[in-house]
């Protein structure tokens, strides 16, 4: 009984530390904005003559904001220590991310279906999944605060060269196999980025590099000391 109460307390503290409630509210606001003014066309200047082209619908790029918002769930004041946590915390993080992403996909699919049509809802969800994967990879490479880098970079070819392009996942048909393949690859890349904890990275290194590199826990403690942050390491065994 006491152990169950402690587990519930840990879950509540985790949700509070990562501001899950604020994240969900912000996601609902973004979904509402897309449904209401997503059809607004953004004029885009042309590379060639400098005049504005027809532009792109605002809703084509809105999934990017929701994807970066989802990737913020892996951040927090104790991010460095949580990356070294045990299996209990990692299971909780996977569950929270999956549930929040499922909620965002469900709500946006419904709102876009009501506002435009079912195909538009499917395309929105596909773009969201692709950018979420890129955001997780970006967060792994550059840090959670810079998880927007790869999604933002990916928008430039979509915005500037999307006219009748077969690879533009924001305007491709809902059943387009290449767009869904790209989204699947991006999601798998994001999962791999989350799976590569410091312990796993250390274990797959060559022996000579593993011996020269400081232990992940020591690096995390040094970073926490530099940032003057406190906290505890919740977990039973390193994942």
55-90 residue pLDDT tens:
778 888 899 999 988 888 877 655 555 665 556 677
15 has a pLDDT exceeding 60: yes
In whole angstroms, how far apart are CA 211 and each of 83, 200, 203, 206?
A: 21, 14, 11, 9
Q: How far apart are CA 126 and CA 179, in angstroms?
A: 8
Two structure tokens written together for 18: 């990562």
pLDDT at 167 over 80: no
Confidence of residue 136 (pLDDT cuts 50, 70, 90): very high
Rounded average pLDDT over 115-135: 93
pLDDT at 229 > cutoff 50: no
For the chain, what is the mean pLDDT? 76
Q: What number of CA atoms fall less than 13 Å from residue 41's CA on the CB side?
A: 8
- The CA-atom distances, in angstroms, between 226 and each of 83, 145, 148, 185, 220 are 17, 17, 25, 37, 10
Whether residue 183 is predicted with pLDDT greater than 90 in this model: the reply is yes
**What pLDDT was estimated at residue 23?**
87
Say what angle helices 87-115 and 62-71 make with each other, to 10 degrees.
160
- The mean per-residue pLDDT over the stretch 35-56 comes to 69
| Per-domain boundaries in the chain | 2-41+49-196, 197-229
Task: Give the mean model confidence (pLDDT) for residues 22-42.
Answer: 88
Specify the pTM.
0.76
């Amino acid at each position: 009984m006491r152990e169950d109460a402690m587990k519930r307390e840990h879950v509540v503290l985790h949700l509070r530390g990562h501001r899950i409630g604020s994240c969900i509210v912000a996601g609902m606001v973004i979904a509402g904005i897309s449904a209401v003014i997503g059809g607004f066309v953004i004029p885009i200047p042309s590379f060639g003559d400098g005049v504005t082209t027809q532009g792109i619908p605002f809703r084509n790029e809105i999934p990017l904001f929701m994807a970066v918002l989802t990737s913020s769930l892996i951040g927090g004041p104790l991010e460095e220590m949580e990356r070294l946590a045990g299996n209990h915390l990692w299971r909780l993080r996977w569950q929270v991310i999956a549930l929040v992403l499922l909620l965002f996909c469900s709500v946006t699919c419904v709102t876009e279906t009501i506002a435009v049509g079912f195909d538009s809802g499917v395309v929105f969800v596909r773009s969201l999944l692709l950018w979420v994967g890129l955001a997780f990879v970006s967060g792994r490479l550059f840090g959670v605060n810079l998880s927007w880098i790869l999604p933002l970079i990916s928008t430039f070819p979509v915005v500037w060269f999307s006219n009748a392009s077969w690879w533009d996942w924001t305007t491709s048909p809902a059943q387009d196999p290449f767009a869904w393949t790209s989204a699947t690859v991006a999601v798998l890349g994001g999962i791999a980025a989350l799976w590569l904890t410091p312990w796993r990275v250390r274990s797959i290194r060559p022996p000579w590099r593993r011996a020269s590199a400081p232990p992940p826990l020591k690096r995390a403690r040094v970073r926490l000391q530099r940032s003057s942050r406190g906290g505890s390491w919740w977990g039973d065994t390193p994942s």
